[in-house]
Structure 1
Amino acid sequence: MIRVLCLLLIGFYLFAGSYHFINPGFYSDLIPDYLPYHSFINYVSGVLEIVLGIGVAFPKTRLLAVKGIIVLLILFIPSHIDFIIKGSCVESAFCVSPWIAWLRLLIIHPILMYWAWMIRKTDAYDT
């Protein structure tokens, strides 16, 4: 089961990171207005997600990659809060009901952190 969760996590971050380049407008407009250089932040986030996803694949780098994913998810919290403040709607990305935006921040985000933490052991993928 841990192996499947590990593979899914790798795929999730490889896809999410790649999507920063496939559809940069989707993420760029989710970056809070008070932060400069939206394009730069978007692309760096994408690269980090890809690198960390690849890092999870290797037992020697898995723990560091998992910690990096958790830090990255923490760094994304202001973006989630800004999205809620904007009414849970960004024209170029998507609009959702406010309760879904809160669910994403308070439930899904911690689940993503826990998911990463669950597969941190270097032998998790190999068993």
Structure 2
Amino acid sequence: MSQVAILVLSVEWLLFGSFHFTFRELTEAQIPSFIPFKTFVAITTGMAEVVIGILILLPSTRRWAALASLVLLGLFLPAVYNILANDSAIPGSVAWRNLWRVAVVPNNVVLVLFALHLWRSPDAVAMGPARVLEDVLKRRQEPRRPRPPLMVAVVMFGANVAGFLVILASGWAYTTAVIWGLMCLATGALVGFLFGVPRVTLDAARRVTHRPNSNIEVVSDWLTKTIVGVGLIEFHAIGGFVRNISAELGRALSLQVGGEGPATSFAQALIVYFFVAGIIQGYLLTRMYLSAQFEVYESPAVETKEP
């Protein structure tokens, strides 16, 4: 049951969260008329759904992702009512509209039950259907575990949301700016990952059967030294490089919206902001999560028990 709940919640959040961006007008049509800033709401909830879909897969954040799923499903109740009550909420044929209306309520009920199940037992193994209702209604008494560093995840998510909302409110070409922001974020995350790759250490007092492949450590060490060395040597040219690519991006943004002048300042801020945010996030995620996973999965391969 737990595996099914994890799979369904993750797939649905990732799938429908991405629809908020690819079918933004359809998403905005489902939002009731009394809710302002529909574009902001559609994009923000889409980001939240994608993040929850990822966090539901991680055991350390699954319980909080399940709780966030319940909150999000509660916030979606006005949209569900709008879908059921107004034909304008679902453009298309009558058959397509009726299909949505028939499926939306049962689907949300299933998501609520799965989220409750994972909130009660985030680490539970598969169980029979007879115990599902009991597990949902009665919380098991288990020792409290240390809370995962959710504050770091919230801050990183908030930083990304703030950046994309500024892009949305700027009035420049939205798609081009978002693609550049994602590219800078991914590039910075790669740099942060290279600087944060953990090292495998061996205890000489214990017998070693074999050493795990550490090519990624060698590549990381070589690239980080290269980046630092080249950066120090060509430090004077970094400013000119940023100005040049900012000018190119600024011209592209202004031409697409018919502006009179290039958005160079906006482009420069976008590049620097998302690149720095990517470095910080890539480094923190690598140090906080990847190091622990390396230790868990490589410890049996590195060590053997003494007889």
The two structures, once aligned, show a CA RMSD in angstroms of 2.7
Q: 1:58: Cα distance to partner?
A: 1.2
Q: Which residue of 2 aligns with 1:96?
A: 97
Q: Which residue of 2 aligns with 1:27?
A: 27
The code of the aligned residue for 1:34 comes to F
Q: Which has the higher contact order (CA 8 A, sep 6+)?
A: 1
Residues 88-114 of structure 1: CA deviation (Å, up to 9, x unaligned): 7532798523x9626633x33211110
The code of the aligned residue for 2:118 comes to I
Distance change in 2, residues 1:119/1:38 (3 Å): same
The code of the aligned residue for 1:119 comes to L
Counting matched residue pairs gives 124
Distance 1:88 1:21 in 2: 19
Is residue 109 of structure 1 aligned with residue 111 of structure 2? no
SS at match of 1:29: helix
Distance 2:38 2:7 in 1: 30
The code of the aligned residue for 1:109 comes to N
Q: Name which one, 1 or 2, has greater alpha-carbon Rg.
A: 2
Q: Which runs of 4+ in 1 moved over 4 A?
A: 92-95
Distance change in 2, residues 1:88/1:39 (3 Å): closer
Contact 2:69 2:115 (8 Å CA) reproduced? yes
The code of the aligned residue for 1:96 comes to R
Question: Percentage identity across aligned positions?
Answer: 27
Distance 2:93 2:27 in 1: 7
Distance 1:12 1:102 in 2: 17
Contact 1:88 1:96 (8 Å CA) reproduced? no
Is residue 13 of structure 1 aligned with residue 28 of structure 2? no
The TM-score with structure 2 as length reference comes to 0.36
Unaligned runs of 5+ in 2: 126-307
Residues 33-73 of structure 1: CA deviation (Å, up to 9, x unaligned): 11111110000110010111111111111111101111101
Contact 2:91 2:97 (8 Å CA) reproduced? no
Q: Which residue of 1 aligns with 2:80?
A: 80
Distance change in 2, residues 1:32/1:93 (3 Å): farther
Distance 1:103 1:7 in 2: 19
Q: 1:75: Cα distance to partner?
A: 0.6
Q: Which residue of 1 aligns with 2:151?
A: none
The TM-score with structure 1 as length reference comes to 0.81
Unaligned runs of 5+ in 1: none
The code of the aligned residue for 2:49 comes to E
